[in-house]
Amino acid sequence: MLSKRVIACLDVRDGRLAKSVRFVDTRDIGDPVEKAREYYLDGLDELVFYDITASSDRRRIMLDVVEAVAAQVFIPLSVGGGVRSVADATDLRLAGAEKINVNSAAVARPALIAECADAIGNQNVVLSMDVRSVEPSTTCPSGYEIVINGGRRPMGIDAIAWALEGERLGAGELVVNSIDADGTREGYAIDLTARVAEAVRIPVIASGGAGLPEHLYEVLTAGKADAALVASMVHYGDYRISGLKSYLHERGLKMRMSW
């Protein structure tokens, strides 16, 4: 059977590593290539780079980072942030990304998901959704709403409906990022993750809120996630990838334990 995956997310701004807390203030925490290599050697199952560069020459910088990482990290590498077209996706793939994450641009123009799926294969298209909880309404009956632009812009789209639409359009995997939980280190949004995972048949990656090893256990069991995304809890050295995996393994989850 498949192992549960631990995925590290590295936010990259201007070629350097940054970690956002509730999507505001970011601070530089190092060289993404070095960090990626360190995690790879420590048993990481998959790596996600998220480009949060604002500058206009962003794409070249990011392609260089991806290229450098792909030359020394031999696990699946997923890249997102600002992917607006098949050309963006193809460039990142040639630089060495396995999977491409689409987010805001897919909300604005859902056909982007299908176009990318046709060009690079469903299994390589990851739909990343930023979600906040709201009062259930006719537009958002689940009580979860899609937001874009780093959480600043509510879209009036129900998160469960969007997950199903993304699957229908050809996304091979979903990242469910709770902006309520993001950066808090108080635990993943369990109910949200479980509801998305129950609605779709593609793998779900839980994101936002990891602070303790038990948070990963919770979201991989009660939250029904296939993979747990971690960021600040490993970036600042509080926990190691290998330590998290050993903990989950000891609690009975199937994990990849030799690397």
Partner 1 sequence: MAIIIDYDAGNLRSVQRACREVGLEAAITADPDAVRRADRIIFPGVGAAGPAMRSIAARGIDAALREAIARGVPTLGICLGMQISLDYSEENDTTTLGLIPGRVRRFRFESRALKIPHMGWNEVRVTRPHPLLADVRPGDEFYFVHGYYPEPARPEEVFAVSDYEIEFASALGRDNYFGMQCHPEKSGRVGLSVLARFAEWNGTC
Binding residues for partner 1, rule: CB under 8 A, are: 1-3, 5, 40, 45, 70-72, 74-76, 93-94, 96, 98, 120-124, 172-173, 201-203, 226-227, 256-259
Exactly one of 11, 51, 91, 226 is catalytic; name it: 11
* Cβ-proximal residues to 59 (8 Å cutoff; 6+ apart), any chain: 82, 88, 91
Check if 11 is active-site: yes
Question: Considering the complex, what minimum distance in angstroms separates the CB of residue 33 from partner 1?
Answer: 14
Check if 31 is active-site: no
Question: Considering the complex, what minimum distance in angstroms separates the CB of residue 122 from partner 1?
Answer: 8
DSSP the chain: -PPPEEEEEEEEETTEEEEEETTEEEEEEE-HHHHHHHHHHTT-SEEEEEE---STTHHHHHHHHHHHHHTT--S-EEEESS--SHHHHHHHHHHT-SEEEE-HHHHH-THHHHHHHHHH-GGGEEEEEEEEE----SS-TTSEEEEETTTTEEEEEEHHHHHHHHHHHT-SEEEEEETTTTTT-S---HHHHHHHHHH-SS-EEEES---SHHHHHHHHHTT--SEEEE-HHHHTSSS-HHHHHHHHHHTT-------
Question: Considering the complex, what minimum distance in angstroms separates the CB of residue 73 from partner 1?
Answer: 9
Q: Are 142 and 158 in contact (CB under 8 A)?
A: yes
Exactly one of 130, 158, 182, 226 is catalytic; name it: 130
Closer to partner 1 by Cβ: residue 76 or 110? 76
Question: Considering the complex, what minimum distance in angstroms separates the CB of residue 42 from partner 1?
Answer: 11
Closer to partner 1 by Cβ: residue 40 or 144? 40
Closer to partner 1 by Cβ: residue 172 or 213? 172
Nearest to 114 by CA among 88, 94, 85, 92: 85
Question: Considering the complex, what minimum distance in angstroms separates the CB of residue 167 from partner 1?
Answer: 11
Closer to partner 1 by Cβ: residue 101 or 124? 124
Closer to partner 1 by Cβ: residue 45 or 51? 45
Query: Would you name the residues annotated as active-site residues?
Result: 11, 130
